[in-house]
A and B are shown apart, each in its own frame.
Chain A
Amino acid sequence: MKALLIRDLRLATRAGGGFGLALAFFLIVCTLVPFGVGPQGGTLALIAPGILWVGALLSCLLSLDRIFALDHEDGSLDLLATAPLPLEGVVASKALAHWLTTGLPLVLAAPVFGILLHLPGPGYVWLVLSLALGTPALSVLGAFGAAVTVGLRRGGLLLSLLVLPLYIPTLIFGAEAVRRGAAGLDPWTPLVFLAAITLAVLALVPFAAASALRVNLR
């Protein structure tokens, strides 16, 4: 499992692996929004938590289809399926690799983009915390979507249609936590819900993803 994780990380960080693409996409979203909304700091500060969360979510979506697609094309997914490692473990390690290469950079970069959007001072801590709690769920749910659509033509578009509704609870609680934090209110209730969703997703969704993967490898 560790070997698989290291292999995935190495593949992702190599040139052409798409590492940093999500980050660049996140930056573009945060740059474009002020053009659409107008440069007034007050308006931006009001919508910053939502924009940052939606931006992080979309950037996460961007690289989801790579989780299984490349391994499916060159056949290494079939090898992994016959390996002693249970398929649930494969899914979990792939999701972890996706999170380390996409989610973690987003979490670390988010405060910088928060400055661009005039996020109020107290919001930064909660932005980082809520993203750190929420993005693992995004990666695991994304792995589920990727497992369902692996090997389909036009799978990428379908993947977004399937995965985005699943992201709604995470988005709601995540953005709400930042919004409350930025407004100086108590953000712990949404944060606890966010953490609960992430833990439940981490525990249960790999099984669904692995069963979908088994169907697709049949």
Chain B
Amino acid sequence: MSIWEYANPVKFMRASGAVLPWVVGGAAICTLGGLIWGFLTPDDFKQGSTVKILFLHVPAALMAINCWMMMLVASLIWIVRRHHVSALAAKAAAPVGAVMTLIALITGAVWGQPMWGTWWEWDPRLTSFLILFLFYLGYIALWEAVEDPDSAADLTGVLCLVGSVFALLSRYAVLFWNQGLHQGASLSVASGERMSATYRYPLYLAMLGFFLLTVALILIRTRTEIRRRRLAALLARENRA
């Protein structure tokens, strides 16, 4: 029994179908719980009630990066071992990651408006996320544009590899660029060690919830893609007959 057995679409469908209700249930409980708990936390003495945005912003940002990493791993597995489920999982993860990036960007902008006095600051983190969003857009657009599914999987896989390197490179390049503009202007969100337990535990719960939610969405979308692929295969067989 190895993990590669799930590269078989039938096995994957059976296993994911069995796991899915639990993941969905856990995602619903943890996400709702984390967000509601977060919403009920007391106001921060400096940020006022805007601290509540944290519970939406941080988990979304985390998942935005995790989705891309998952796509990278899935693309590598497809390129090396050519398991179709892997390629489809990478395809399924892209829109989820793009939405997570967008949530992180929008909540960040809304938070920044009263806190920094501007909707948009060319802060290294914000800029890197904008760049990440561009990479997601390009990746999704390439999947849509290529007709042959295997070629699309290959091309997007290569793009994901090159894109990962450049996304990372951009991250550090942006850091360099912004330091060149305004020295030492660090506008980071309150980091973990400075945060009291009042905010930490609901944040952990929200993070777990977003993680499960992302897993659930990716599983469902992968199942959708597998079904679409099977449908296309059936139609092709029918046309040949």
List A residues at the B interface (Cβ < 8 Å): 144, 148-149, 152-155, 158, 161-162, 164-166, 168-169, 172-173, 176, 179-180, 190, 193, 197, 205, 208, 211-212, 215-216, 218
Residues of A within 8 A of B173 (CB): 168-169, 172-173, 193
Given contacts A173-B173, A173-B176, A180-B180, contact A168 B131 (CB under 8 A): yes
Number of interface residues of B (CB under 8 A): 26
Which residues of B89-132 have CB atoms within 8 Å of chain A's CB atoms? Answer: 131
A to B contact number (C-beta, < 8 Å): 78
Min Cβ gap B76→A in Å is: 13
Find out whether the CB atom of B166 lies under 8 angstroms from the CB atom of A216.
no
List the A residue with the shortest CB-CB distance to B172.
A169
Let me know if B134 is at the binding interface, CB within 8 A.
yes
Residues of B within 8 A of A218 (CB): 151
CA distance A154 to B146 in the complex (A): 11
Find out whether the CB atom of A215 lies under 8 angstroms from the CB atom of B154.
yes
Given contacts A165-B138, A169-B169, contact A176 B177 (CB under 8 A): yes
Q: Of A154, A180, A211, which is within 8 A of B145 by CB?
A: A154
Q: Of B151, B163, B180, which is within 8 A of A215 by CB?
A: B151
List the B residue with the shortest CB-CB distance to A179.
B180
Given contacts A158-B141, A190-B176, A218-B151, contact A164 B158 (CB under 8 A): no
Min Cβ gap A64→B in Å is: 14
CA distance A211 to B156 in the complex (A): 12
Let me know if B66 is at the binding interface, CB within 8 A.
no
Find out whether the CB atom of A166 lies under 8 angstroms from the CB atom of B163.
yes
Given contacts A158-B145, A165-B135, A218-B151, contact A212 B176 (CB under 8 A): no
Find out whether the CB atom of A216 lies under 8 angstroms from the CB atom of B134.
no
Find out whether the CB atom of B170 lies under 8 angstroms from the CB atom of A168.
yes
Find out whether the CB atom of A164 lies under 8 angstroms from the CB atom of B146.
no
Find out whether the CB atom of A161 lies under 8 angstroms from the CB atom of B138.
yes
List the A residue with the shortest CB-CB distance to B168.
A169
Highest count of chain A CB atoms <10 Å: which of B151, B167, B180: B180
Find out whether the CB atom of A193 lies under 8 angstroms from the CB atom of B142.
no
Q: Of B134, B137, B158, which is within 8 A of A208 by CB?
A: B158
